[in-house]
Structure 1
């Protein structure tokens, strides 16, 4: 069974279009957790264009007080500001991504071999407290990339599923992307790395992903589930994503 972590960046971005407190990020967090989501994901960026630092603190407090069994996953680039933020709240999982500040969204995984020492230092620092560390991983990382990720001391990799998600109009390319994801996931699992996944997963493409890439521990889904929630509401969207992930 794959757990669902709902990424709230898109909700925060909608709120930030106006100088008003709605939609409430913590309110939506409560909705999706009540509907059965296993966790919440946020990816605060330096310019706070969606998730703000205050959101991170408020979500952490909400989950500790009302949802102690749910998982809080914080994504970000391992800068000093990021370390300061995640050290000030209670997060169960930290997912490191190689984003530059100007990127609109995550669009590639780590160069595990070229940046191995940098990542090992970051992982070591984060694991001084009891937190799981996951590293954003290209779909074609394969066995060599998985081994290099493992060498950093990380607990998991998160498969970047964006290239697969972009194949909605090209079934043949989608099959090729699924094969790459499956190979990397199998290589990671074989050496004891847990496997997460995320980016552009939707109700339409998730079933094929689940069939081709079994054993994924957690899927972080934000844009797709928010788009579906505009039609059906967040609780129903959570139920439909869970139905696929838990088959």
Structure 2
């Protein structure tokens, strides 16, 4: 496989972690409890650290003078390859935790395979990240169960959150032709295996608190892998990128 096949895959991993980490950090000062705020920030920082590792590798392959910071803060919306799910607004706490759970279940399944990648750099990054994401998945799945099986209010909020996010899960159960080729080469995660593992995890978690499982989501006109995003990513990037774009030569 050449680097042109690997770059969009690394961007999928790095951009998704970066955007989800940014969304979680938006809860700083707004979380429902101090303990939850600390937990959210820790998960967000884990994801930002993982994003840096993926983007560092991407920058080396691109070899065009950009580093991880430039890839994070100097690209426009259409150059991002993150999952559509992670760019969606936080909403209430049920929306935030449902979104985190859907992402974690996909992320965990991907990293399990990447930890055995024939690419030693990918395998090393994935093995380290897997330890963190195993905790992320346990935490978010427990929150889905806690809210879905809790009070009438918390259950109704989780029941409302699921359909709000569900159409974006189509990207978690399918992959591009390039991802299939990377999997066949022993470098990337097999999208079919990831999709099956994701559905198994979500089904078991929903079943444990009698949450209804919607029918499989269908493809629609947006595609994070192709850089065709929802209106929410541009607004998120405008805030995230303001300082480094306004003061490009600043040092800290």
Which has a greater percent of helix?
2
Which has a greater percent of strand?
1
Report the TM-score, using the length of structure 2 for normalisation: 0.24
